Structure 1
Amino acid sequence: MPISRVTKLYSVQDAKIAALTADPAGGTATYDAVIDVPGIQEMSISGDVEVKTLRGDNKKLASNATISNIQVSVTHAKLSLDVLEAILGGTVTDSGTTPSQKSIWDLTGDTATLPPFKLEGVTPPNGVDIVGGDLHWVLHKLTLSAFPDLGFANEDYRVVSFTADADPLLSNDKWISAVLNETAVEIA
């Protein structure tokens, strides 16, 4: 008997992104190594539906609806230069030796590529109704829809956030997946 398809969703424990490196029509999408989204706080998924209504004879005759967009908003507690490089482009360079090491993320006109990426978030074990299970949200192909919210806050922590729009993969037409596991698994 299959597991229940109905569950609560409690919290988010982890999220990772990976740059989409290939998406051939009829082939298999490939991704770079996963990068941790540090201090994940929230992953909110929404969408837009476009409705067309047919009217005639002074009344509604029919209506059709299509999904026109899926969007995700992510808030995380810590800045990651590797995440910035994966979602915005740019380059990260490391230099120096202790005690003068540096990591620098630079975004230039030539490197601001807004590359496509995958995002996967997961509940903690027991964050679903299945004891020991979890749920993963996977958005297979995202592109930033706005510049990330960065900067500082006066006398407070500054969290980082970004929003991105989903597109279907060319290889299998997937936009989003919800994976409910009987036994919790880490993001791979």
Structure 2
Amino acid sequence: MGRLGPWTPMTVEERLDRMESPVKIRQLPYRYVPALDSRDMDAVADLFVADVRVGRDASGRAALHRWYTEAMRASRTTIHQLTNHIVDFDDADHASGVVYCRDHLERPSTGHWEVGELQYWDSNLRVNGEWCFRRRKFHRWYLAGALSRPAHGTGVNDGSDPLGARQLPESFPTWAPYRDSADSHPPHA
């Protein structure tokens, strides 16, 4: 597998598309963030495939719109800042990626701000020539009061965040083997 995923373009047209597609895919989270922070749920939903799965029992952009509308009520104001974005291609129309994000959440119940570090693990699909999110999985290192020093896992799945994040770094498939190896072979002093 190459550095950009298992798909290797062969023709000149495929190679040109491979250069253009990451730019188009990166526009998805860049547009997602201001849409989410401004509570433009129509714009958020339009970034996803029409038949997007929402939870276990619902699908479609209307269901996604409802879900985001409800989930974002837990915060009065949000600020999302994107950093790294990696894109891998399975083939010409399927890609996946990881987006790093720092978020700031103002809680309406207290008026206090929380700060967190998270990742989105994205699945992307090209539909009728347009790249869309197929799915976004939410993973978090922590979410803590803006004036506190977070410990590992602070605020993750403690009920303060409606998104129900998966814990990082434990969600990385390479983490447990690395830790198991490190535990069985401690560094030499």
Instruction: State the TM bucket, normalised to the shorter chain.
Output: under 0.3
More helix by share: 2
Higher relative contact order (CA 8 A, sep 6+): 1
User: Under a length normalisation based on structure 1, what TM-score does the superposition of the two structures give?
Assistant: 0.27
More strand by share: 1
Highest Rg: 1 or 2? 1
